[in-house]
Amino acid sequence: MAHNKPDPAGLKLRLVAAQRLKAVLGGDNFVPLGATDLADGRDRGLANRLITTALRRQGQLNFIIHALLEKGMPGKSGTFEAVLRLSLAQLVFLPDLGAHSALFLAVEAIKRDPKARHLSGLMNAVLRSAQANSAKFGMLSDDLLIPDTFGDTWLEAYGEESINGFSAALLAGAPLDLTLKSDDAELIDALGAEPVMADTVRIEQRDRPVEALPGYAEGHWWVQDAASAIPARLLGAKPGGRVLDLCAAPGGKTAQLVKAGYQVTALDSDATRMERLKDNLKRLDYVAETVVADAGNYAPVSPYDGVLLDAPCSATGTFRRHPEVIWHRSVGDVAGRVRLQRALLTNALRCLEAGGVLVYCVCSLEPAEGEGQVEWALDHLPGLELWPVTPAELPGLEGAVTARGLVRTHPGMAPGGREGGMDGFFVARFRRR
């Protein structure tokens, strides 16, 4: 006889969260669940909290799973691993949510998955063992949060104190940074924001979506991390000059260049992302020429006074928002990006007028994608010379300017003395002789 018992409370959000986490563990970028995934705002908030905790704590969860699963993760087991990670995250790191629901709903969730239901006994046993050891597991070292792939390189590049800041930033996540069209004290107050540096303001806690914040519909600001806003400010091309923004989408830097008074051409190879850029500019009431083309072989009719190249990179500097990137990237990935960046730098120089300015930047913490590329460019691109950035050009963040006049930010830094860190970014400025 069929029985249609209603699902237990909280099961649906766990099933949806498990599918999203499974996709991210499989290589997708994390995108928070939206209203189309879960209509109820509280369910959505809880599901996103479980997923982000599982992702931020991935290194510690790896350790716990290794300790509890003697034979390792069972193969071809559907959502088993995703449900296990969500439940361990709740048991060990989110004790305010209670242990009972973590245990009960985990077993119920995998009973709904034909590929995992035979493992319900194992799930129950593993979670009960985790519950018994939750105090011990909750005190695991934060050193486990950064994978070995990057840990040693970063330790050498940034030092132990900074790496501790990386771990804290990973767990805290990112506040919301905005770039303002104009200095407006009333708007800053209405947003509940604090000035950070230049025209960047920060919202530490927000209780509504970006689109519902004051000034969004009127185009008074755009979303842009404090670090991401640095490169365009440093361009220093001739006033009103023609500037090319390579790999421009979604358009934050394009908007900055328009605001600075340049005649801007925004180029991106992805037509869908370019539509998003156009929508963003339209909301801001800004005008730029847009081109869908490959930045590696684009040949303009006449060279530009300035080129801004925000090159595709490993994106390891964005881990506060995308904790998965540091687990998805390999040494080989970084090497592939390095080759691509060199091709783009070479073509960026071709697009530049004699005496023109080239700013190269990446949202990566990898020295090979930053400092290493400066050495390569100066050795291999005749006519290119470094135009050092001075500390005075970055008030409130003078410590990010190196002795050679390069800019290196990382998540352990406090821009303008503000809490909440910033993305890892590298910026170098060149001139064509």
Which of the residues are catalytic? 363
> The tokens of 66 are what?
């290794």
Distances (CA, A) of 108 to 24, 76, 124: 22, 19, 10
Cβ–Cβ < 8 Å for 270, 249: yes
Three-class DSSP category at 316 = helix
Tokens of 257: 């260049």
- For 426, the 3-state DSSP assignment is strand
Q: How far apart, in whole angstroms, are the C-alpha atoms of residue 285 and residue 185?
A: 21
146 in Cβ contact with 166 (< 8 Å): yes
Helix, strand, or coil here: 357? strand
Strand partners, 244: 265, 307
Establish whether the linkage from the previous residue to 250 is cis, with ω within 30° of 0: yes
Cβ pair 47, 38 in contact under 8 A: yes
Using DSSP, state whether 291 is helix, strand or coil: strand
CB distance 306 to 356 below 8 Å: yes
- DSSP state string for 118-154: GGHHHHHHHHHHHHHTHHHHTT--GGGGS-HHHHHHH
Q: Establish how many alpha carbons lie within 13 A of residue 389's alpha carbon, considering only the half-sphere containing its beta carbon.
A: 27
User: 126 CB contacts (<8 Å, ≥6 apart)?
Assistant: 68, 69, 84
Helix (H, G, I), strand (E, B) or coil at 77: coil
Nearest residue to 142 via CA among 29, 56, 216 = 56
Q: Which residues contact 349 (CB under 8 A, 6 or more apart)?
A: 358, 381, 383, 384, 432
